Structure 1
Amino acid sequence: MSRDVYEYAVIRVVPRIERGEQINAGVLLYCQPRGYLCARVELDAVRLRALDPDADAESVRRALGAYELACGEQAGPLTGEPLGGRFRWLTAPRSTIVQTGPVHAGLTADPGAELTRLFDVLVRL
C-alpha cells in the first residue's frame, strides 16, 4: 500500500493571549497527493473555563467550526481556492483566541484515518 506525504496542524484555543495557556481543540490535515483537506474540532468547555472563567464558549465553538467549513465545498470566502491555498491560509500565524500551531508532516495511506488518530492523540484526553 502506498503512503503519501501529509501536513497537519493542531487547532488550539488560547483564551487569554497574554498568559499563553492553550487547549488543543482540533486538528487540520492536508494531503495534497490525495486531494484531502479536513478539520476535526471539539471544544472542552470545562477546560476552557478553567483557563478563563469569562470565556464565551459558544463564540469559540463558532470560530472552531469555521475551520471545518473552510475545508468543505461551501468554503465561504475560500470557495474556489485550491486545497493547498486553503491549508496555508488556515495555518497562517495569528494572534487570536483560536489559532493553529506549527505545521508538521508525516506519511499516510489513509488521510481520514490519520486525522482520527491525530485527533485522538492530540485533542482528546
Structure 2
Amino acid sequence: MSRVDVTGEAAALVRRLTEAHGPVMFHQSGGCCDGSAPMCYPDGEFLLGDADVHLGDLDVGLDRAVPVWMSRAQFAYWSHTHLTIDVVPGRGAGFSLEAPYGVRFLIRSRLLTDHEVPAAQ
C-alpha cells in the first residue's frame, strides 16, 4: 500500500524539473513559512536523518522513482492519511524547485480506508 501518489499534471512537472536539475525528492514541509507544502529539491540537497519518515516513492514515468519524506513528528499527526501531490497555479513560499514556473505543489489528503489502515501499520 502506498501512502503517496501524484497527479498527472504534477508528474509532468516533476519530469520537467528532473530534466533541468537531475533526480529530485520531496519533503513534506511542517508548516510555518512553507505553509505545509510538499517541497521539491534536487535529490540529496535536503538533509534527511532519523527524524524523517520515508512515505513512499512516486512513479512519474522516469527510470527512477521519486522519494517522498516527512518529519517523524508531523507523521504522528498524518499517519492516518493518504497524500496526493498536485500542482496548482500560483507562487508558493520556500525553496522548492517549481517556484520559478509560476506554480506550486500542493498536498491533497484523504483518510485511509478501513481496508488500508492495517496495511499502513
Which TM-score tier does this pair reach, normalised by the shorter chain?
A: under 0.3
- Which of structures 1 and 2 has the bigger CA Rg? 1
Name whichever structure is richer in helix by fraction. 1
Using structure 1 for the length normalisation, give the TM-score.
0.27
Ranked by relative contact order (alpha carbons within 8 Å, sequence separation 6 or more), the top structure is 1
Higher strand share: 2
**TM-score, L = length of structure 2:** 0.28
